Amino acid sequence: MNSHGMKLGWLGVAVACGLTAAAQAQRSNGPLTIASQGSFFVGGEKKQLPQPPAGTPGAAFGGGEIMIHQMYVQYQIPSRGNRHVPVVMVHGCCLSSKTWETTPDGRMGWNEYFLRRDRSVYLADQVSRGRSGFDSTVIGAVKRGEQPPSALPDVLAASHQVAWTVFRFGPRFGEAFPDEQFPIEAVDELYKQMIPDLNALLPTPNPTWTNMAALAKQLGGAVLMGHSESGFFPEQAALLDASGIRGMISIEQPCAELNEAQIAKLAPIPTLMVFGDHLDGVPGSFVNWQTSADSCQTFVDKVNAAGGDATMMHLPKLGIRGNSHMLMQDKNSDEIADLVLEWIDQHVER
């Protein structure tokens, strides 16, 4: 800041005001100016619960209505957010929206990186996870003996041993690939992000799909991004209601085999598939990522054959090596974010 009286032209004022510095800061780690932020829910329906018998667990709280299937969404709109289509990010199995925030080794997450590139960012906790909550009715019913233990959901609570190989940190637990991009030294911070997955409780279609489609519409158009368990959710949302969906970004998931009518419905929406490295590098893993990538290549080919604009971005083919399944947290996460942003610029906003 200029602290002396002096003759200043517009440029002088601009420099004194640090406008260039502010723009720089917005893109780097400097001060961040946001137009607005907040949180809200999409969807949700009321469910009636019977009054549990007196003296049984839950009786004191009584019966009545609860809300289920709502989706919690947290957003930030940057000062120049109206220049771009908003981006909705949805996390994968056994994780929450934490996926997109500060990385395990303390770097900026994709939520803020996209924000600093003038994108409005919406983080959604999947229905039945995190701040979206879940329908716990069956737990009380089993505890009271009204339903058998078999009625309990199959909770996915992935162990660190499962995560290591499924997330492709290395060929076996504790051993990293030599070129591994995941910040292995901070893996405990990823483990803390892993929370029980209760998607087994959900009906079909998954309310998260419905809510994602509704959110895109509510925003007047959005790019939907999914990862792993939710990787194909943008496409599932578009099959239900494509009207608000301007682009689909699917990161590291199997692609469903769709029929001709379904492909025709998705073809008008630009689609990006992203896969990292070592897809077949973990023999005997719970998930075969090479098979997943192959299924998505088939999907991409079908969409393009139907006149669509689908891109398969297999990072090693671009010379980018060592990326894990958690590529938004990998050491080169900024570089991959730039590729995704460039794809949005060229395919969605061209």
Residues numbered 60 to 99 that lie near a copy of itself (CB under 8 A) are 60-67, 70, 72, 74, 79, 96-98
How many residues of this chain bind a copy of itself (CB under 8 A)?
Answer: 90
Task: Report if residue 259 touches a copy of itself, rule: CB under 8 A.
Answer: no
**How far apart are alpha carbons 223 and 225 in whole angstroms?**
6
Task: Specify the residue, 165 or 250, whose C-beta has the smaller distance to a copy of itself.
Answer: 165
Stretch of 154-162, 237-245, 252-260, 302-310 contacting a copy of itself, by CB under 8 A:
154-162
Phi–psi pair at 236, nearest 5 degrees: -65, -40
Question: CA-CA distance, 112 to 107, in Å (whole number)?
Answer: 10
Residue 317 burial (10 A CB sphere; 0-12, 13-18, 19+)? exposed
Looking at beta carbons only, is 3 or 204 nearer to a copy of itself?
3
How far apart CA 157 and CA 144 sit, in angstroms, is: 24
Q: Interface with a copy of itself includes 1 (CB under 8 A)?
A: yes
Contacts of 113 (CB under 8 A, 6+ apart): 333, 334, 337
Q: Out of 159, 243, 291, 298, name the contact with a copy of itself by CB under 8 A.
A: 159
- Judged by CB under 8 A, the chain residues 34 through 53 that form the site for a copy of itself are 34-41, 44, 46, 49
Minimum CB separation from a copy of itself for residue 132, in Å?
Answer: 7
Span of 4-12, 176-184, 209-217, 300-308 interacting with a copy of itself by CB under 8 A: 4-12
The angle formed by the CA atoms of residues 210, 235 and 245, to the nearest 5 degrees, is: 70
- Closest by CA to 344, choosing from 117, 122, 126, is 117
DSSP 3-state of 2: coil
Residues 174-193 that bind a copy of itself (CB under 8 A): 188-189, 191-193
Site track 8-27 with a copy of itself (rule: CB under 8 A), x = hit: xxx-xxx-xxx---------
